[in-house]
Every structure is written in structure tokens, then in C-alpha cells.
Structure 1
Amino acid sequence: MADAWNRKYVLKHKDVAVADIELDDATGAISAIAGMHDERHVPVGIPVKKGRIDRAALNEWWHGRAIPASRDGIQEALAALSVATTHKLLDKSLGLSLSDQYWICPSNAEADWSRLNFFENDFSEDVGNLLLGLRTTGENISLMSPDNTSDGWLKKKWTVIDGKRCLIKGGSGAIQQEPYNEVLASRLMERLGIPHVSYTLLVQDEYPYSVCENFITPQTELVTAWYVMQTRQKPNHTSVYQHYLNCCEALGIPGMVEAMDRMIVVDYLIANEDRHQNNFGVIRNAETLEWIGAAPIYDSGSSLWFSKPQALISPTAKLVCKPFKQDHQEQIKLVTSFDWLDLSALRGIEDEFREILQGSLFIDEARCEALCFALRKRIDMLAEIVHSRSLRIWVDDRSADVTENIAYSGTPADDDWEPDR
């Protein structure tokens, strides 16, 4: 579609013109920014200095919209599409996404967002089928697809189910465990009352897939933590965790401390190894630019010892931890309050996990039992941490009460003063 026009475009945010850009035909990179129209609608985290958009930063943002080169099966899909790189797919669908409202409009074309966006208009599933390893029907493959701007390394595709935009995502390796983990994580968060994206299980040709409805609407958009953290320079003495909160506070995004408490608790319970800065973030209104709050928790599949052989499934094993610490035992210390947490709501969750895993051709009974046991122990370990925190706070409070009494009435005589038991 875009090849019929020249390589000059207007970067738009819905129907708001943001900047005039040019794309290099060979690389798909932004070769020039001819002018800026509306600084308020420049993508979050992209610097603007003296009325000029930082081209290197905008290029990083633009290329970040492309399918990563690490995507499972991407080379086979590119060969079938006769496209050299994933970056070359971006302009084939005008950069349209189901995560935000940015797109590129050919400068000499009459086009508007309402007639092109994938939230409200049909889109081709040809690219998604190829990315998922499925055969496409017909000779002419349409590249007008939101799959051109899907991130992550697992096989996935967008589809429409009962009129709703849904993401279908596969597993990896010989175990194919990620889809089951997504379902378990969403069930766990539902029990704890934590805002989350709900996942269901789909088995197709005996392979498991997770399915979730898009949580972004035509009026909203996702801004990942990475780009939130680009809005301010991080001082060397400030931790990544505090820097993120500082950036959110400066932008006026509400409820972020509480949201981070919940995310860190969930990731501890499921031993998440891949909560990187691009799979959590915040949501804003794409029209008013008002911040709504933290995005619901999503993308939790790389957890629960998903890539470990059965012998290494252990609740106390040291695992990769992100995004704020390298160890879950250290990261859980960042939680400011457990007052909201009712771990009794997770009673029997291991049995629910067992039911989710039942029937898998890739996870045998022994692995299933090891996973369920380890999950139960992670819950018990967190219970001990919560109890220890509560006890410490109680002791600290009692010490403060004693100090106040001493300061008020003088040192009490040994025979007439004793702290409550």
C-alpha cells in the first residue's frame, strides 16, 4: 500500500499531525525530520530540544515498533513475505498498532485514522498466520496487519474473536509451558484482586496457546516503563525503581506505588524471570493526553521455571529477576505494604494449576507435580516474609511507644513499669 506513494510521511497521533518525516527506502529508518507540528503529541520519552525532535531517539522508538529479529520463526516468515527485514514491514501497514494510536500517513495521500486503524477496521491475518507457522491461503498476501508491530520473541498473532481484538501467543522449546503460565498467573491475580489481563488456553493441532483480549481501546494507549523512564535523566545515586516512581510522579500518574507493590508480589509468587521494562507500563488517554494509571499486569509467561528441566524446579532456586533487582528475595523488599494482600485467597491454587496443565502433551505428571509443589512453597515463603515484616513493624511501633513514654514521664522504676506482652 505504502509503496505506491513516495517516502515522505506525516507522523500522526490519531488525526493530529506530529512531524514530517522521511523514511530511507533501503533500511526503513527515519532519514530526516523535516518539521514538527505538535510537540504535545510527540511520543512519550522522545526528547525535543529547541523545537527539534531527537532523530536518533525517534528512530529507536520507530524501530522498536518492529517485530524483533529474535522472534521464533521470523526468518521463515520474512522469506515467505519476500521482505528482507522486520523493519521493512513497518511502513507496509503504515506503522499502525493495537497498542497505541501512532501511525504514518503518506504526505501526498488523503487518509484518516478512523478509516485505517485496526481497532475499528478489518485487518489481514496473513502475516499473523505466517508468524504462527500456519499456512496462508491464496497467492496474494496482504501486509495490512497489526502483527507487523507486535513485540516479543514468542510466536503470536492478532485475530478477531466475537468482535474483540485478541492476541494468540504460543510457547517455546520442548516444554511449551508459557501459555499455561499465563492462564495460571491471571487466575492467581483474580483471586488476589489485582488488575490484570485475563488469559485463556487454546489448544490447536495439539500445541497450547494463550489468548487474551486487547486491553487498549481506540481512546487509550500503552506507554511502557522504558519510555516513561526516558522522560527524566536518572541521577547516578537513584535506583531504577525510585527513578521509575519519580518519573511517574512528575508526569502525574496516580497509584503507581500500589501498582508496583502488586506487580512485585505477583512476580515473586510465580518466579517471573522476564518482567523487563517493555512489558509493564502505564495507560493514558490518547486524545486528552491525561494519564489513567498503571496498565493491568500482562505477559507473565516466562515464569514458573518455564525453561528449566524438572530436576531444577525448586522454590528456593536462584532465578533471573527483573526489572528492579537481580534477585527476587531482594526485589520483594521494595514492597511498601502487604496490608492489601490476603494469601488465604490462594488456598488450593496449586490444584487449579494442576487442572490447567492436565492434558498437556509436553508436561508430564512428574513435572506437573513438581511445579504445583514449588508454587505452593513460593506462597508459603511469601507468607513468612509478610509475617516477618509485620512482626518487625510491631516491634518498631512498640519501641516507639516506649520511647515516647520515657520522654514524657521520665525513666520508669523497674518495679512499676513493664511493656505489654
Structure 2
Amino acid sequence: MADGMKKYILMHKNISVADIELDEATCAISAIGHVYSESHVPVGIPVKKGVINRAALNEWWKGRAIPASRAGIRNALEELNISTTQKLLEKCMGLSLSDQYWICPAGSGIEWSQVNFFEHSFSDDVGNILFGKGSSGDYISLMSPDNTSDGWLKKKWKIIDGKRCLIKGGSGATQQEPYNEVLASSIMKRLDIKHVKYSLLIEDDYPYSVCEDFITTQTDLISAWHLMQTMKKQNHVSIYQHYLDCCKAYGIPEIKESLDRMMVLDYLIVNEDRHQNNFGVVRNAETLEYIGAAPIFDSGTSLWFDKPTMMIGTRSKVGCKPFKNDHEEQIKLVSSFDWLDLNALYGIDEELRELVRGSLFIDENRCDALCKALRSRVDMLTDIVNTHRTGYVIDNCQGDVTEDVAYSGLEDDRDQ
């Protein structure tokens, strides 16, 4: 072994994938040795003539670490006496509650069944420190799935009634994201959209969202980003179509239908951050068979969460992802609204009002503005759906009836 290098085996549950070396100083993958199983190499990592692309595998590995943008991460690292989140990643052997990949120290004989976080308890130390609460004692255990949690909001995993649950905070003066998660969950329940259920937790007057892990010992979450790396995107093909093509190549069922529902939700709640790493698909970790689209999760960056009250509901431009940068354009990609019962949303604004009642961060003026804006989004979506279903629009100036293609879902989406 070269100086400053640590030898590991990249594992997928019980399957040996490849020998790797980590640089002791940076914890980056410095070398890849023998490849044991090409089929179990993480999705989207190129393998040519039995050789894994090291740069791509390194990006995947670094992507498992807590991002440097995480709120409070610098103070947490100081308290943990760890220089980078990459080193924190190594301390838990890369184990996650989102998939079954991990790194086994070479020659250790450690097995997945002995260490995985799905079947074993884990320390609250890292999570508590990330939440600014400090550790419970002199000894700090770094064996935690919190080391492999993504996103910029503070979050921690906790075992509640035997279930692995993610607790996630809010940001800024309004701390609105947890409320948004719960509201989005309620909207999806009303519309019969497959989703992760969120509940609200108030602790020390601060709101947090709580959801149960939807990944099990048998499954992997594969992000849309990694799935889209499996094929080269042609310049004339849109991101939306490229994702459909990649899913089709793997025989993943009902992806267009799941995207329809995701885009409808994101239109209603004005989601600004449905990036390619917070939606995707689920596969069987052992057979590698794709099961289908992941339930919708992570919808907190919505409803003008970081905007002043005066800007709520205005037509000022609000960001949109992942397929268009404008919600009015992205909703045009929806292929069918036949499944959508808008009557199910009756009273959703009052549900929001009740949800934020008593919040120290959302005052009555902001609550009124949010409820009014949410009603307006339902009305706007209703107009879009009615136009789509009739297939015609009235030209208000001329009174002419013209065929409508704007919401056919068949337009040529080539500007991405």
C-alpha cells in the first residue's frame, strides 16, 4: 500500500464491487484496483473494458458526503475535530439510509449485516452536533447515517418507534420549509399521488418536518441525475425527453405518469428546487431490477419560502426546475390531467392556515398571503386543465375559437 493510502473494497450490500484506495489526507479515491462486479458499479459511472472511470466514481463518492453548503457545518466539523465532510464520510464506511453501498476496510472481514444502519442502531452524536446541541458525553461516535445525508438544510436521522426517520429544519426568518413539506404531503394525499408522508414537529419553538425512510434493506434510491448519466444526451434532445429515454432503456415503468404528477404538485406549490438529485427511481439492490419511480419527497423549497410577504403570489419570476426554468412552461410538459381531481383540493388553503397557526415565524399577514396565493394557484391550474381537456381556447380579442396546442404535452421541448 502506498504511503498515505488506505485500502478498501467498495461493496454493494454483500457484493464486492471493486478494490479502491482512499487518500488519507483528502479521503478521495486515489486508485481503483480489481473490479469484481461491473453490474453492481453505481448507476451512471462509466465502465470501459473492465475499467471504472475514476473521476466519475470520485464524484459519486464525494456526493455521498454532507455538502459544504449545509447550515452550521463548519462549526460542527470543528466540534467533531474533523477537517472535511469527506473524512466524516469515511468514518461511517460510507453507509447510508438511501442505498446499500459502503466501503469495507480491506482484510477486515466486516459484513454488511454487522454494520448497516437499517438493522442496527446508530449514534445521535453527529446529528445533535449538526443541530447545534453538542454531544452527550466525552466520547463522540461518528458511526452515523447523518454523515451521508445530502442537502443544505440542517437534518438528522433518528430512530422513532423502531423506524428510521429524517428530521429536517427550516431556514431564514420564516422557517417555512417544514410547513411546506407537510402541506405538500397533504396535497399529494388528496390527489392520490405516491409520496413520502411528512408530519410537523415543534421543538424549542422551531418547526421541523419528520418523514420515515422509504428505502429498505432491499432497495436503492437512484437519483435522476445518476440515471441520466447512463446515456449521452444529444444536443437536440430536451432534459425531459432524455430522462424518459434513460428510464425506457432500463424498462422502468410509468415514468411519464409519475412526472406528470410531480410537475402538477410543483406547479401548485411553486417549487423552486426540484433538482435532479431529489427525484428519481427505486431498484432492488440485489436483483438490480427497477421497481419504478420513487415516491415524491423533499418539497420544502416552495410557496415563496424565502420571499418577503409582499412578494408572495406576485407574478414576479420564481425559479423552476428540473426541466424548465419557468413553471408556466414546465406545466405544458404534462401529458395528461385525466387522473387529476381538482375538487379534492377544496379547502386546502384553510388546511394551510391551520397548519401554521401558532407559528412564531409566520405571522397573520404572511399566513393570509400564503392562503390567498395557494387558492390562486389552484385556480390557475384549473384554467390550464380545462383548456387542456377541451383542446380549444377563445381568442378574447377576436372571439375566434382556435385549436390549442399549448397544453397538449406534445410540443417540441428543445430549448434546454
Task: Specify the alignment match of 1:81 in structure 2.
Answer: 80
Distance 1:342 1:315, change over 3 A: farther
Query: Displacement, 1:393?
Result: 6.2
Partner amino acid, structure 2, of 1:377: S
Task: Specify the alignment match of 1:192 in structure 2.
Answer: 191
Question: CA contact under 8 A between 2:124 and 2:144: conserved in structure 1?
Answer: yes
Partner amino acid, structure 1, of 2:140: I
| CA distance, structure 2, for counterparts of residue 362 and residue 386 of structure 1 | 34
Query: Displacement, 1:6?
Result: 7.1
* Residue 112 (structure 1) aligned with residue 111 (structure 2): yes
| CA distance, structure 2, for counterparts of residue 370 and residue 55 of structure 1 | 50
Partner amino acid, structure 2, of 1:172: S
TM-score normalised by L of structure 2: 0.93
Question: CA contact under 8 A between 2:45 and 2:53: conserved in structure 1?
Answer: yes
Partner of 2:379, secondary structure, is helix
Partner amino acid, structure 2, of 1:296: P
| CA distance, structure 2, for counterparts of residue 302 and residue 39 of structure 1 | 37
Query: Displacement, 1:317?
Result: 3.1
| CA distance, structure 2, for counterparts of residue 196 and residue 223 of structure 1 | 16
| CA distance, structure 2, for counterparts of residue 183 and residue 137 of structure 1 | 30
**Where does 1:9-408 land on structure 2 (aligned, <5 Å)?**
9-314=8-313, 316-392=315-391
| CA distance, structure 2, for counterparts of residue 377 and residue 252 of structure 1 | 38
| CA distance, structure 1, for counterparts of residue 169 and residue 132 of structure 2 | 10
Task: Specify the alignment match of 2:410 in structure 1.
Answer: none
Question: CA contact under 8 A between 2:166 and 2:212: conserved in structure 1?
Answer: yes
For 1:327-363, what per-residue CA distance to the aligned partner results, in whole angstroms no more than 9, with x for missing partners? 0000000000000000000000000000100010000
Task: Specify the alignment match of 2:412 in structure 1.
Answer: none
Question: CA contact under 8 A between 1:315 and 1:375: conserved in structure 2?
Answer: no
| CA distance, structure 1, for counterparts of residue 260 and residue 390 of structure 2 | 19
| CA distance, structure 1, for counterparts of residue 392 and residue 214 of structure 2 | 38
| CA distance, structure 1, for counterparts of residue 89 and residue 153 of structure 2 | 19
Query: Displacement, 1:231?
Result: 0.3
Question: CA contact under 8 A between 1:158 and 1:165: conserved in structure 2?
Answer: yes
Task: Specify the alignment match of 2:396 in structure 1.
Answer: none
TM-score normalised by L of structure 1: 0.92
Question: CA contact under 8 A between 2:5 and 2:24: conserved in structure 1?
Answer: no
Partner of 1:166, secondary structure, is strand
Query: Displacement, 1:316?
Result: 3.1
Largest Rg, 1 or 2: 1
Query: Displacement, 1:397?
Result: 9.6
Could you tell me which runs of 5 or more consecutive residues in structure 2 were left unpaired when the two chains were aligned.
394-400, 405-416
Partner amino acid, structure 2, of 1:372: C
For 1:117-163, what per-residue CA distance to the aligned partner results, in whole angstroms no more than 9, with x for missing partners? 00000111100111111122111100000000000000000000000
Distance 1:396 1:39, change over 3 A: farther
Higher mean C-alpha deviation, range 315-324 or range 105-114? 315-324
Task: Specify the alignment match of 2:409 in structure 1.
Answer: none
| CA distance, structure 2, for counterparts of residue 13 and residue 104 of structure 1 | 9
Task: Specify the alignment match of 1:404 in structure 2.
Answer: none
Higher mean C-alpha deviation, range 294-303 or range 314-323? 314-323
Query: Displacement, 1:315?
Result: 5.2
| CA distance, structure 2, for counterparts of residue 198 and residue 381 of structure 1 | 26
| CA distance, structure 1, for counterparts of residue 78 and residue 342 of structure 2 | 50
Question: CA contact under 8 A between 2:320 and 2:327: conserved in structure 1?
Answer: yes
For 1:145-198, what per-residue CA distance to the aligned partner results, in whole angstroms no more than 9, with x for missing partners? 000000000000000000000000000011100000000000000000000000
Question: CA contact under 8 A between 2:45 and 2:52: conserved in structure 1?
Answer: yes
Question: CA contact under 8 A between 1:315 and 1:377: conserved in structure 2?
Answer: no
| CA distance, structure 2, for counterparts of residue 318 and residue 336 of structure 1 | 24
Distance 1:125 1:119, change over 3 A: same
Partner amino acid, structure 2, of 1:313: I
| CA distance, structure 1, for counterparts of residue 300 and residue 159 of structure 2 | 22
Question: CA contact under 8 A between 2:5 and 2:23: conserved in structure 1?
Answer: no
| CA distance, structure 2, for counterparts of residue 351 and residue 272 of structure 1 | 20
Query: Displacement, 1:318?
Result: 1.9
Question: CA contact under 8 A between 1:284 and 1:291: conserved in structure 2?
Answer: yes
Task: Specify the alignment match of 2:398 in structure 1.
Answer: none
Question: Please, what is the CA RMSD of the aligned residues?
Answer: 1.5
| CA distance, structure 2, for counterparts of residue 153 and residue 314 of structure 1 | 25
| CA distance, structure 1, for counterparts of residue 136 and residue 227 of structure 2 | 41
Query: Displacement, 1:310?
Result: 0.3
Question: CA contact under 8 A between 1:315 and 1:378: conserved in structure 2?
Answer: no
Partner of 1:181, secondary structure, is helix
| CA distance, structure 1, for counterparts of residue 131 and residue 179 of structure 2 | 18
Q: Give the total of aligned pairs.
A: 394
Partner of 1:7, secondary structure, is strand
| CA distance, structure 1, for counterparts of residue 74 and residue 190 of structure 2 | 40
